[in-house]
């Protein structure tokens, strides 16, 4: 049986060739980088709040692309990865909260199948009985892992309502692969989380979250902003971009991440996808330095950029639909 293969909106954004991979590895061996810089852990962690008080909108960075989100009474995890290593490299820093410190989870959102976004051990250890939302083509794999859990596949621009929230699966520019034969047999994308149109409390409907997943820069960011004009928080990747000739189609640079943030029209930028694993040749410090330099060059409002430490929680009071 021929398996469906998925594509990007930009047909020129293709996966790397074996020759290009070899060239990158040769370049990488010649580089000497200082990788001592660390983001650090939050001085105060909100385990009690996260386990008990769901009357507040909270965004907690666990690390890399893993966030613990609480909104409208639901506890949500994005791309859960508590792995101690990725390939041959050890994790640069411990997750912001341990699996034991996590509250029960209602919804898991997966952006794509790459190992640094879908970690089997972490998925199986989630507390509660979460509903799992996955890209088209990934459902069968996840159902085998999480027997007994509801697993729903969504195509680009597909959506599903859970409680008072709508979860919209939106495009990204990337690719997928976990084995030698499954390249692009499941899709990739980001998620927009917003209040359902029939939510009683209209004053909190604007509190929406865009989790971008993994992506190169593409015109889809503008379309996401046009379709969802009230995004409050944008969780955007800024790392794994070097060398740009190789990583460009699949990972934004810090400068491109800022442009993507402006494209989607969000109110607050929260960087992710850096500081936990060494996936490319850029360092944590380099990614942050470039992000801050571009933010200053563009003269953007400093209050619109929020750099979280691992385990740090952004809190906003909300009124639940009771």
User: Is 52 or 167 the better-scoring residue by pLDDT?
Assistant: 167
| Structure confidence by residue, pLDDT tens digits, 97-126 | 999 999 999 999 999 999 999 999 999 999
Cα gap 55→143, rounded to integer Å: 31
User: Is 187 or 14 the better-scoring residue by pLDDT?
Assistant: 187
Q: What confidence score (pLDDT) does residue 100 get?
A: 95
**Position 256 pLDDT exceeds 90:** yes
**Position 202 pLDDT exceeds 50:** no
Q: What is the mean predicted confidence (pLDDT) over 246-261?
A: 96
Cis check: omega of the bond before 38, within 30 degrees of 0: no
Domains along the sequence of the chain with CATH = 42-317 (3.60.15.10)
| Structure confidence by residue, pLDDT tens digits, 296-305 | 999 999 999 9
| Structure confidence by residue, pLDDT tens digits, 57-84 | 999 999 999 999 999 999 999 999 999 9
Among residues 21, 92, 120, 79, the alpha carbon closest in space to that of 215 is found at: 79
Q: What is the mean predicted confidence (pLDDT) over 30-52?
A: 87
User: Is 19 or 173 the better-scoring residue by pLDDT?
Assistant: 173
143-152, 162-171, 196-205, 277-286, range with the lowest pLDDT: 196-205
Rounded to two decimals, the pTM is 0.94
Residue 85 φ then ψ, to 5°: -150, 160
SS3 state of residue 171: coil
Measured CA angle at 188 (ends 13, 269), to 5 deg: 90
Q: How far is CA 319 from CA 163, 169, 204, 258, in A?
A: 14, 25, 7, 31
**Position 52 pLDDT exceeds 70:** yes
């Amino acid at each position: 049986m021929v398996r469906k293969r998925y594509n990007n909106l930009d047909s020129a954004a293709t996966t790397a060739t074996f020759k290009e991979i070899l060239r990158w590895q040769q370049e990488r061996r010649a580089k000497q980088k200082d990788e001592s810089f660390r983001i650090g852990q939050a001085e105060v962690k909100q385990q009690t709040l996260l386990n008990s008080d769901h009357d507040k909108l909270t965004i907690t960075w666990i690390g890399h692309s893993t966030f613990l989100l609480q909104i409208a009474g639901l506890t949500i995890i994005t791309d859960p990865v508590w792995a101690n290593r990725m390939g041959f490299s050890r994790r640069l820093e411990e997750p912001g909260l341990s699996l034991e410190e996590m509250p029960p989870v209602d919804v898991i959102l997966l952006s794509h199948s790459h190992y640094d976004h879908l970690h089997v051990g972490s998925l199986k250890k989630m507390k509660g009985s979460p509903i799992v939302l996955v890209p088209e083509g990934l459902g069968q794999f996840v159902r085998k892992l999480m027997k007994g859990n509801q697993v729903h596949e969504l195509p680009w621009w597909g959506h599903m309502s859970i409680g008072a929230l709508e979860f919209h699966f939106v495009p990204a520019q990337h690719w997928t692969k976990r084995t030698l034969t499954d390249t692009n047999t499941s899709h990739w994308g980001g998620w927009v989380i917003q209040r359902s149109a029939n939510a009683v409390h209209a004053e909190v409907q604007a509190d929406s979250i865009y989790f971008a997943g993994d992506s190169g820069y593409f015109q889809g960011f503008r379309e996401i902003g046009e379709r969802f004009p009230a995004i409050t928080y944008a969780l955007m990747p800024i790392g794994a971009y070097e060398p740009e000739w190789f990583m460009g189609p699949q990972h934004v640079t810090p400068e491109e991440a800022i442009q993507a943030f402006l494209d989607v029209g969000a109110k607050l930028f929260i960087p992710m996808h850096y500081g936990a694993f060494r996936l490319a040749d850029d360092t944590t410090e380099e990614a942050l330095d470039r992000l801050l330099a571009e933010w200053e060059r563009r003269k953007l409002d400093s209050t619109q950029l929020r750099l979280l430490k691992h385990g740090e929680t952004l809190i906003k009071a909300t009124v639940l639909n009771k």
